[in-house]
Amino acid sequence: DAGVTQSPTHLIKTRGQHVTLRCSPISGHKSVSWYQQVLGQGPQFIFQYYEKEERGRGNFPDRFSARQFPNYSSELNVNALLLGDSALYLCASSLGGQNTDTQYFGPGTRLTVL
Amino acid sequence: GENVEQHPSTLSVQEGDSAVIKCTYSDSASNYFPWYKQELGKRPQLIIDIRSNVGEKKDQRIAVTLNKTAKHFSLHITETQPEDSAVYFCAAIRGWGGSNYKLTFGKGTLLTVNP
C-alpha cells in the first residue's frame, strides 16, 4: 500500500555519533509520531507533530529531537548515541485532527549502536 | 505520567478457544484506547479501538470492553485461529491541548494459537 515510509531500513552507528531518521506520512495525513521499540517491549512514545508543531513528548532525554516539514514529512534526530539507543524506531502517521485518529505505522528503522 | 499494565505477557490457546487480554491504566485523562497486533518482523496494525464514552465495542470475532471507573480495558478474541498468533499491544491515549498528547503502550501479550 502507499503507506508510511521510513528511511533508512537499517543503520549501524557507534557510541557518541549522531543519527537522523526520516519518515514520510500517508498522503493527506498531517500528523507524525515517533516511537522507540526495544526488542520484546511495547513501543515507547517519543514525539508527536501536527502541522509542524509539537503536540506531545514522551519521557526521552534532550538528545532526542524531531521536526516536521511543510510537506508533513518528519525527521527524528538522536545525538550522542548510547548503546541503549539500539532499537527499532517506528514512525506513525494520522490525519491529525483528533487524538482518536487511527495511527498507521511505517516499517521502522532498525538502529544498532556499537 | 501514564502507566499501562498489560496481562498476561504470554497466552497459549487451542484453536477455536477464546483469548482475553487485560490492561489497566493510571491517567484518568486518557480517553482513547486502541489495540494493535504486531506479527513477527512487521509493523503494528490497529485491530480495534474504544473511546472513553463507550463501554463495549465489537468487530466480528474481536471485542473490547472498557471500565472507566476501574481504569481497565480488555480485548476478547473468540473462535481463535492460528493466524491470530501475534503480539498484541494495548494503548492509552491522552488528548490534545497544547503539547498534552501522549500515547502509552502496554508491554504486549504474545498470543499463540495452537492448531
pLDDT per residue over A54-64, tens digit each? Answer: 888 889 999 99
Instruction: Give A55 or A8, the one with higher predicted confidence.
Output: A8
pLDDT interval class at B97 (50, 70, 90): low
Residue with cell 484453536: B15
Instruction: Give B77 or A41, the one with higher predicted confidence.
Output: B77
pLDDT of residue B101: 78
Q: Which residues in chain A have Cβ-Cβ distances shorter than 8 Å to B1?
A: 59
Q: What is the pLDDT of residues B42-85, one digit of tens each?
A: 899 999 999 888 899 999 999 999 999 999 999 999 999 999 99
pLDDT of residue A1: 52
pLDDT exceeds cutoff 70 at B99: no
At residue A42's C-alpha, the angle toward residues B112 and B94, to 5°, is 125
pLDDT exceeds cutoff 70 at B87: yes
- Distance separating alpha carbons of residues A34 and B59, to the nearest angstrom: 28
pLDDT of residue B44: 92
| Arithmetic mean of pLDDT over chain A | 93
| Cβ–Cβ below 8 Å for B96 and A100 | no
pLDDT interval class at A104 (50, 70, 90): very high
pLDDT exceeds cutoff 90 at B29: no
Q: Which of B101, B102, B109, B110 to mutate to test the interface with A (most CBs of A within 10 A)?
A: B101
Q: Are B2 and B63 in contact (CB under 8 A)?
A: no
pLDDT exceeds cutoff 80 at B1: no
Nearest to A43 among B94, B99, B105 (CB): B105
Nearest to B43 among A55, A56, A107 (CB): A107
Convert chain A into a string of H (helix), E (strand) and C (coil).
CCCCEEECCEEEECCCCCEEEEEECCCCCCEEEEEEECCCCCCEEEEEEECCEEEEECCCCCCEEEEECCCCCEEEEECCCCHHHCEEEEEEEECCCCCCCCCEECCCEEEEEC
pLDDT of residue A100: 80
Q: Are A55 and A36 in contact (CB under 8 A)?
A: no
Q: What is the pLDDT of residues B53-65, one digit of tens each?
A: 889 999 999 999 9
Q: Which residues in chain A have Cβ-Cβ distances shorter than 8 Å to B41?
A: none
pLDDT exceeds cutoff 70 at B98: no
Task: Tell me which chain A residue has its CA closest to the CA of residue B105.
Answer: A42
Q: Which three cell numbers stand for residue A4?
A: 508510511
| Cβ–Cβ below 8 Å for A42 and B94 | no
pLDDT of residue A101: 84
Helix (H, G, I), strand (E, B) or coil at B83: helix
| Cβ–Cβ below 8 Å for A105 and B31 | no
pLDDT exceeds cutoff 70 at A29: yes
Q: Which three cell numbers stand for residue B112?
A: 499463540
Q: Which three cell numbers stand for residue A75?
A: 525527521
Residues 89-108 of B with CB under 8 A from A: 89, 91, 93-96, 99-108
